[in-house]
């Protein structure tokens, strides 16, 4: 690993130009400013001119794809107040137990702590204010494409299939439903701007086998403690693991500390980017947040400069207006 002292790091970042060629993905829309995954958040993101806007996908009881980050909905809606009896034995409320009509009756809010009810990011949009609702994947696509037409832009979509194994256990085929919607809107032709992402390697392999997509797929890489999928991400991050990824995906989406590890107020570069690039894999890392930065940098723009210098092709950010400003 390479180690950069703070003094050198400060000079490099302050003198560097913004990474104009870096792919900017609006993470859950403009989620640093408006409640994540709402159509309002996607609209604001579009106005910032990112390259892509990200919708996370889960399924409803009546088989509709909706745009939510989690399979459970109590962190971003008032479900406990509206449907107090619909929680499972673990005390959580799951999107898959609700029809679209029921989900549409909920109020979407800034993400909060389930136990305390307090916002995760206190300086963001006031929790519980205004009226936002759950959006469907079709509504999201039609919004982005409508704004592309009226604004004469070509901003792409970057959907993530959430927890395929959970959906399978609940007799839902999220792969089939995702393909169906993408096909209905012409994204399976390979002519529209799209990346498809997932944390579950078996799901991406199955998706490739079943549908032979003409668009690129990204293998997301998390930390094993998050339990995002049955995968062992420690093994996936090895040269052997990355070579396996290159057999079914066109890129990786690692957590940025897997690329640059903090060491006090400085950092070390890991071998990940170099190995991934040697295998021809694109690197789109997550998540750059202006209100949650490591000590070695003071802005998402500065962090993106460091990442670009190490060969990272794109970044997910809650603040898509800050990278190229």
Active-site annotation, residues: 27, 69
| Structural contact between residues 260 and 274, judged by C-beta atoms closer than 8 angstroms | no
Extended strands (E) in 99-151: none
The answer to whether the beta carbons of residues 188 and 212 sit under 8 Å apart is: no
Residue 34: is it exposed, middle or buried by C-beta count within 10 angstroms (0-12/13-18/19+)? buried
Q: How far is residue 88 from each of residues 79, 80, 104, measured CA to CA in Å?
A: 13, 12, 20
Neighbour order of strands in the sheet with 56-59: 65-67, 56-59, 160-161, 196-198, 217-221, 251-254, 282-288, 314-317, 23-26, 52-53, 156-157
Q: Where are the beta strands (DSSP E) in 104-199?
A: 156-157, 160-161, 196-198
Element (H, E) at 164: helix 164-169
Helices (H), 246-292: 272-278
Instruction: Scan for tokens 């190229």, then name that residue.
Output: 324
Q: Is 280 left (phi over 0), alpha (psi -120 to 50) or beta?
A: left
Three-state secondary structure of 53-96: ECCEEEECCCCCEEECCCCECCCCECHHHHCCCCCCCCCCCEHH
Q: Parallel, antiparallel, or unpaired for β 314-317 and 23-26?
A: parallel
Backbone φ and ψ of 14, nearest 5°? -70, -30
């Amino acid at each position: 690993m390479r180690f950069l002292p703070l003094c050198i790091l400060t000079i490099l970042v302050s003198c560097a130009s913004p990474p104009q060629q870096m792919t900017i993905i609006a993470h859950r829309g403009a989620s640093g400013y408006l409640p994540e995954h709402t159509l309002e958040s996607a609209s604001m993101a579009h106005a910032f001119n990112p390259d892509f806007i990200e919708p996370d996908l889960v399924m409803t009881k009546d088989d509709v794809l909706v745009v939510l980050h989690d399979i459970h909905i109590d962190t971003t809606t008032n479900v406990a107040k509206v449907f107090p009896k619909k929680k499972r034995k673990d005390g959580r409320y799951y999107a898959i137990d609700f029809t679209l009509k029921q989900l549409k009756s909920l109020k979407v809010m800034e993400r909060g702590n389930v136990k305390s009810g307090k916002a995760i990011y206190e300086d963001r949009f006031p929790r519980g204010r205004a009226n936002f609702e759950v959006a469907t994947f079709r509504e999201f696509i039609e919004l982005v494409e409508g704004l592309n037409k009226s604004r004469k832009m070509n901003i792409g979509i970057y959907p993530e299939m959430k927890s395929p194994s959970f959906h399978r256990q609940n007799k839902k085929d999220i792969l089939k439903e995702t393909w169906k919607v993408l096909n209905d809107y012409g994204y399976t032709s390979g002519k529209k701007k799209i990346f498809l992402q997932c944390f579950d390697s078996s799901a991406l392999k199955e998706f490739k086998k079943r549908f032979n997509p003409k668009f690129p797929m990204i293998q997301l890489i998390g930390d094993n403690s998050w339990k995002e999928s049955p995968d062992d991400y420690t093994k996936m991050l090895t040269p052997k693991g990355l070579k396996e990824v290159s057999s079914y995906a066109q890129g990786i989406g690692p957590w940025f500390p897997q690329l640059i590890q903090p060491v006090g107020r400085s950092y070390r570069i890991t071998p990940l980017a170099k190995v991934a690039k040697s295998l021809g894999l694109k690197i789109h890392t997550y998540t750059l947040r202006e209100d949650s930065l490591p000590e070695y940098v003071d802005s998402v723009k500065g962090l993106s400069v460091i990442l670009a210098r190490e060969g990272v092709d794109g970044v997910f950010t809650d603040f898509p207006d800050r990278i190229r400003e």
